[in-house]
Structure 1
Amino acid sequence: MNYQINELRLTYDISYIKYLVKNTFIRKKMWDKALRGVIAAKLVEPDSEELDELYEEIKSNIPVKRIEVESFGTPKNKVLALDSNVVINHLTKGVEGFYSNGIFDLEKLGNQNKFVITPSVFDEVEEHVKFMLEKRRKQVEKYKDFKFDDMKEKIYSKLDRLKEKYGVDIKVDDESLTGIKELYSNYLIELEWILKGKLMGKSLSHKLRKLAQREGMMPEDGDLRLLAEVITLNENRDMGLLSQDKDFTNFVGPIKKAFSVEIYDV
């Protein structure tokens, strides 16, 4: 399916996606993949009655499961794994040319907790930093007095310090993702709502690229691996996960119940 959606992103030819949804995913009751395929196709043909009918058929076969709402307040005496959005906000804070919303006061949280950053997060952050800096370089190259190299050096210096201070060595394999995917598979309608929110306002090519990064309606691989890393670390220490990502924060109750990991967004 990743291949087909990547082809769609490049050619905008969705006939094969329609065929795949109707003759493979729906027939085999692979509702998560069917739903993602139709969402992708509707981005290109939003007025297609055929796609509307497929969408309704798929949705009618997906049960809606209530999510247990739970909040753990402000973390205390925890080892907090930082999600990529938290790390990126910290990297850009105080750097000229970038805006940081600063939703998390890491200095204050650090007084009562310890932080770790896992390999999957560093991988995602490094990719985002490359993209972010290239985009910013193109925006500011016409301003001769803007010191782009200084800005770049400042961000990478902060990243190196984070690696040295908070980096943790933890490896997870694909098998460790199975239970996590099983949990999320119970909440496909919620995942659809979250995904559509993330796509809102993006260009068509960006939307299709984001869809191509997912297996069915599952969160992106980096998010699944981060949760697997935190679950593994939780076996030997009292872990929590600090994140703004709705793929985590909207599932606080189910994640705690299934894996004994607490998600914090304050």
Structure 2
Amino acid sequence: MLELHSHTTYSDGTLTPSELVEAAVNAGVCALAITDHDTMNGWDEAFTAAKPHNLEIVPGLELSTVHNDCSLHILGFYPDAQKLREPLRDRIEGRKRRSQEMVAKLAELGYPIDLPQLGEGMAPGRPHIATALVKAGYFQSSREAFDILLGDDKPAYVHYEKFSIVEGITLLRSCGAVPVWAHPYLFRGGKVEQVLKELVAAGLMGVEVYHPNHSPKEINNLKKLCDEYGLLMTGGSDYHGPNSDSVSPERHSLNMLHVPLELLAPIKQAAESLR
């Protein structure tokens, strides 16, 4: 089956790209997208690990943008890595600055921690900070740290640096990537129908219809909207690995949605049209 949304240790996942590939193979996945936050650095390891298993790797990423003062994530599939690498360095540096601001806020609130040291090209985020808070003994779980300090509008929360949906979609398309709105019903900055109009006007090409946090009613509505606007449909578990309670109260597992493999061919065709 098709799995078009997953994360590794290069962003906020708990599995290395090789471990993720092994887990995907065991779960019966036929095509796996690596969509780390604002980085492509897990691709090479995933490609190498997938070869013996005949698992197709879909190169991608999850780009962080800001809309209506809320974080809005856009998946990008099949980008030209050479064109996108330099712009992503700026995004990663922005993530580092944001993390440092949150660590400073935590210190002021009486929760001093050291910002985790990550490897080159790895994007720090709130899950890393939550893990550090747990290791320091302040909380029993990352979920507790999010609920009390790190969640949206909680005392230690820091907004993403401004990077609009127009800038994000334009960047992805200019680098040959197919832009897809990730988990629309998790967005808190407006009604899906209205925001989708704005995204389509900016050049959006698809919507993540199938997601663990989408209800059957929401999935059906997204399907209708895709038909109305002529958008591609994608789906994935948004898998972050085992023991990743900082992501969602629900346990997301690979291939849990059984997304049909035939959704991949139109995405490939759309990517070709951008070349």
TM range (shorter): under 0.3
TM-score scaled by length of structure 1: 0.27
TM-score scaled by length of structure 2: 0.27
Which one scores higher on RCO, CA 8 angstroms, separation ≥ 6?
1
